[in-house]
Chains A and B, each alone.
Chain A
């Protein structure tokens, strides 16, 4: 479990804030106004009934929500959510105010850049297995996902196969996606089988589920269908609300914060109306479209600036949250991709985002790379060290040893130096060498080394295997589910 906290004051870390309290207040007030005056379309009858009974105004499918209801939901939603790993150990400590940041591997990528050949190809089940193995081995990638949309399985149930494969290959918490309630229930059954029963699974959830709002100020039937089911089960659920600047959100960052918050907070309200105390994860994913090419662009500061600003608002609301942090427009894991991962991970950690989503993405989410995960793992470690701060005390200020060494002297042989040597950061895949030695070792560039690392991890195989009986049970669940389809 990582213990890094942004804005910590004991053993002080760097202090960072993008928006001040007044600015957060102003944004939230505007969100309340939007929900109360403009309202939103709710395309799900059950959800409309919940909202109406609670005191909302209904005109057709349009619901207008008084602000006191959102405030009440904010009061009853948990401020802290623990997500476990497959073995029941606490893994994520999600809370807007604790400054801890966790990183989630991305999901739903059509292609994978193969670490052995460098070629891009359509994803299959083996890619999910490999993603699981690599994420399991990387300490700073906290939540696993398949980084794939697998093609070698019966149509319409790729996400069920993905969960089956991930469960076998990693113990880390999983990020689940699903297209309908039935598929979600099949995934839940698989997870329950992995931990010995549904009660065990619900008591120590090791997944993050959820849904996405669509369109602007709208909530679709299928999405709410599965969301309400997740709420009833009480599994930590994230309602992802994204807005594209100038399209499905206003062109200004502040305006986009308002609309994405207005959408995610409807998810919050429904969670608390379904089951008071239900663990809910808010979100704000602000997307940018290149006005020239109409392509998504992720290699741009606005992609992460919105997340950093949202972090302050969620801290103000004291609501666990997720934002996106690691997209790139580059189609391969090159220098541009490295730039994007670094700049966005740095911002994510600075802002103390609880869940930073989409590590491993390439080509504006079309594709994924496991070498990029290896890179991100080390970059995150490094950035945490920079921002973690260090001790200022009599001992570290080293007055005594400075006096002993005197002008022009060297600290190299001093006891103080030897005692503190181990406090320095040590690299894993970032090598420290000179040009001559690098050449002697085969002139391997970073990408080659990262790909080698990926292959090495994959070849080691499963670290913590499930019992054969559990695998058998999971296969039976999938077989029954397929038949039902």
Chain B
């Protein structure tokens, strides 16, 4: 009998359904085609056998199959110190924060306001402190300083405040180059950055079926450096994709795969994360909506296809339409993170995003950290072995007995998930605490982390280097 703990078995679509979906994707790319708004990419695509007419590119299935084969099925993202942190491989699940929400909830005053550089630093510390949050980002976007450099500010604020892998974005190729300068300075050079990449760039197509020049330039730049990238279609059912979930999965996958193809044509084997996010509009309020089962199930379905393709992938699960940590926000976090864990998603974001990811609330991230621990434990399965079946111990204890003093009990007492957040409280104890709110407890945790300051600081020498680079960039962009 195997002692191995068998993970739960879960799937939304079976193999033949995945085949049908991917078949439809190939057909869309071959017959409808897509608009690629970058000349270098079009030339590469034409050279590889695509038909190109102005910016409309039609892609033969054989070429796309080649790219899927060529792309790595596994790769590792390191932390800033060079330790392996995230191993993108089948069934390895990691969870992380949102990126560029417009607003942030001020951790001290509770006020909803635009993001600042100091918020990016706080976000770094919070991600750094939470064991189940695998990577860091600035979470909220920045609206201060030079508006041309807001993306670079995020990176500059994050580097000294967390050693976790960084998720970042760039508004242009020029800013991407600035960010690389900062990364290289933080770890000691381009070679080290290439050997042990600790950053992952996020870039997007314009759905449906349009690939903008800026995104494609970045994908090519990153592929040349073998730097990880995630290409995120954000499809909205009934608007930028068909209203049926199956149809919206088809459009999303068609879009992300074109990024993959360009990356592999640039540099075969460049690390690439595919994805398909849903940015559904609520037809009544015409705002982006996450508290919808369709949002969640579409990710479960897309995950089946991604797993079938055998490529690292990302999902947009873990945020809510609610503007505060309430029962609805909690419900969303639970059902979405559960689905992410069950789906074997390599990169599930955006934990801490609320108001449909317009607003960052760190309290959600702290709670999300707890939920991840909980669902991972559940999905991890139950060990069935001679030892755990405990036949001997049962016979020894016998009818009416008690296991409390058994050796077996003591041996396994640490097998269990522990929490200091979801603790048993009686009604009386709750009254005694002044009816202390669950949200208050979460906010206290947030402030404890921020007040403690960076736990993994950079050396003064590196900080000086980073500051000098930032000063130069500011001057160049004045």
Contacts and interface: CB of A to CB of B under 8 A. Distances in A.
Contacts of A438: 323
A253 B382 contact: yes
Given A329-B422, A329-B424, A12 B13 contact: yes
Nearest to B338: A346
B282 interface: yes
Given A300-B416, A382-B293, A403-B32, A342 B399 contact: no
A440 interface: no
Interface in A353-406: 363-364, 366-367, 375, 379, 382-383, 385-393, 395-399, 401-403, 405-406
Interface stretch (A36-44, A67-75, A184-192): A36-44
B82 interface: no
A396 B382 contact: no
A288 B327 contact: no
Interface in B58-115: 112
A12 B292 CA distance: 20
A247 interface: yes
B35 A301 contact: no
B399 A217 contact: yes
A18 interface: yes
A335 B370 CA distance: 13
7 contacts: A18-B8, A120-B427, A245-B416, A346-B335, A375-B331, A411-B242, A416-B243
B247 A397 contact: yes
A386 B335 contact: yes
A434 B287 contact: yes
Interface stretch (B190-198, B264-272, B384-392, B463-471): B384-392
Given A335-B330, A408-B206, A408-B210, A252 B412 contact: yes
B239 A411 contact: yes
Given A299-B424, A339-B371, A445-B326, A246 B404 contact: yes
B9 interface: yes
A234 B426 CA distance: 40
A175 B389 CA distance: 32
Nearest to B56: A407
Contacts of B430: 331-332
Contacts of B330: 335, 338-339, 342
B9 A20 contact: yes
Contact of B297 (A18, A390, A406): A390
Interface stretch (A83-91, A200-208, A417-425): A417-425
Q: Chain A interface: which size bin?
A: 35 or more
Interface string A27-51: 1001001100111110000000000
Interface of A: 12, 14-20, 22-23, 26-27, 30, 33-34, 37-41, 62, 111, 120, 215-218, 245-255, 257-259, 288, 290-291, 293, 295-302, 304-305, 308-309, 329-340, 342-343, 346-347, 350, 363-364, 366-367, 375, 379, 382-383, 385-393, 395-399, 401-403, 405-412, 414, 416-417, 420-421, 423-425, 427, 430, 432-435, 438, 445-447, 450
B422 A402 contact: no
Given A218-B399, A424-B292, A410 B250 contact: no
A402 B29 CA distance: 11
A459 B195 CA distance: 68
Q: Chain B interface: which size bin?
A: 35 or more
B460 interface: no
Interface string B359-393: 00000000100010011011001111101111101
Nearest to B343: A14
B439 interface: yes
Contact of A347 (B325, B367, B378, B439): B378
A120 to B, nearest CB: 5
Given A254-B383, A329-B422, A390 B246 contact: yes
A30 B377 CA distance: 25
The 10 A-B residue pairs with the shortest CB-CB distance in the complex, in nearest-first order: A398-B247, A255-B390, A398-B242, A385-B293, A407-B209, A338-B327, A250-B390, A329-B424, A254-B388, A217-B399
B240 A402 contact: no
A291 B413 contact: yes
A452 B374 CA distance: 31
Given A41-B399, A299-B422, 5 more contacts: A17-B8, A335-B438, A347-B338, A390-B245, A434-B285
B350 to A, nearest CB: 18
B398 A217 contact: yes
Residue of A40, A62, A335, A433 contacting most chain B CB atoms (<10 Å): A335
Interface of B: 1, 6, 8-14, 17, 20-21, 24, 27-28, 31-35, 56, 112, 206, 208-210, 237-247, 250-251, 282-285, 287, 289, 291-294, 296-297, 300-301, 321-331, 333-335, 338-339, 342, 355, 367, 371, 374-375, 377-378, 381-385, 387-391, 393-395, 397-404, 406, 408-413, 415-417, 419, 422-427, 429-430, 437-439
A421 B237 CA distance: 10
Contacts of B389: 26-27, 30, 252, 254-255, 258
Contacts of B300: 14, 386
Contacts of B328: 338, 430, 446
Residue of A14, A111, A385 contacting most chain B CB atoms (<10 Å): A14
Contact of A420 (B27, B243, B381): B243
Contacts of A399: 24, 27-28, 250
Contact of A19 (B6, B238, B335, B391): B6
A329 B438 contact: no
Contacts of A395: 244
B373 to A, nearest CB: 8
A159 B285 CA distance: 48
A120 B427 CA distance: 8
A268 to B, nearest CB: 18
A258 B394 contact: yes
A402 B251 contact: yes
A411 B240 contact: yes
A282 B381 CA distance: 22
A469 to B, nearest CB: 42
A233 B68 CA distance: 64
Contacts of A385: 293-294, 297
Nearest to A304: B378
A120 B429 CA distance: 13
A14 B321 contact: no
B208 A295 contact: no
A149 to B, nearest CB: 16
Contacts of A288: 416
B211 to A, nearest CB: 9
A398 B208 CA distance: 13
B326 A411 contact: no
A38 B35 CA distance: 72
A330 B441 CA distance: 13
